[in-house]
């Protein structure tokens, strides 16, 4: 497994995977970044496509990622994560709408749990999901980052880096 650390306007990001296929993206100061194993090799030339697309996303010039992904999870989690990639840039949805879109309106809680286990933040845009009452709910990278990402996608948070 290889990993790379990338700068961003909202903190360092670590990306990891094998053979150029991304299986993880997290902030270096989050618990998910601890998934980087001791036997993994840091490679600052790996995942150039992801690095370039993330730069463009943060610069405000990219609205849809085209990165090879292999998130690891259950079949249900992968269905939820796939549905997350269908949420358009700059828009939000709720856990209930996601559950209904997956054909099971009663699966709101399960959708929320799967959303929280998303291993590839930003690229799989779990930050675009909010509570039914319009409130911002948890985000593994921290609520300040979720707020920034949503504001960024509305064109309200341009940081240069």
Distance CA 52, CA 124 (A): 16
Contact 47, 15 (CB under 8 A): yes
Mean pLDDT value of segment 25-45: 84
CATH topology of domain 75-153: Arc Repressor Mutant, subunit A (1.10.10)
One CATH from 3.90.600.10, 3.40.50.10860, 1.10.10.10, 3.30.160.70 for 2-59: 3.30.160.70
Residues of the chain with CATH 1.10.10.10: 75-153
Active site residue 126: yes
Q: What is the 3-state secondary structure (H, E, C) of 87-104?
A: CCCCCCEEHHHHHHHCCC
Residues of the chain with CATH 3.30.160.70: 2-59
- 92-106: pLDDT as tens digits: 999 999 999 999 999
Of 13, 126, 129, 149, the catalytic one is 126
The pTM score is 0.93
Q: By three-state DSSP, how is residue 73 classified?
A: coil
- 107-143: pLDDT as tens digits: 999 999 999 999 999 999 999 999 999 999 889 899 9
């Amino acid at each position: 497994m290889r990993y790379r650390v990338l700068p961003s306007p909202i903190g360092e990001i670590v990306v990891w995977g094998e053979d150029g296929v991304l299986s993880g993206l997290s902030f270096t100061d989050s618990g998910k970044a601890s998934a980087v194993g001791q036997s993994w090799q840091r490679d600052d030339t790996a995942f150039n496509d992801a690095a370039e697309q993330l730069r463009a996303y943060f610069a405000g010039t990219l609205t849809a990622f085209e990165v090879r992904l292999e998130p690891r999870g259950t079949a249900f989690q992968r269905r939820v994560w796939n549905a997350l990639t269908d949420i358009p840039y700059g828009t939000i949805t709720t856990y209930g709408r996601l559950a209904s879109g997956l054909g099971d309106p009663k699966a709101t809680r399960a959708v929320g749990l799967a959303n929280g286990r998303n291993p590839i933040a930003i690229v799989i845009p779990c930050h675009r999901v909010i509570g039914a009452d319009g409130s911002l709910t948890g985000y593994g990278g921290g609520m300040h980052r979720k707020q920034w990402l949503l504001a960024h996608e509305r064109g309200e948070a341009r940081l240069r880096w």
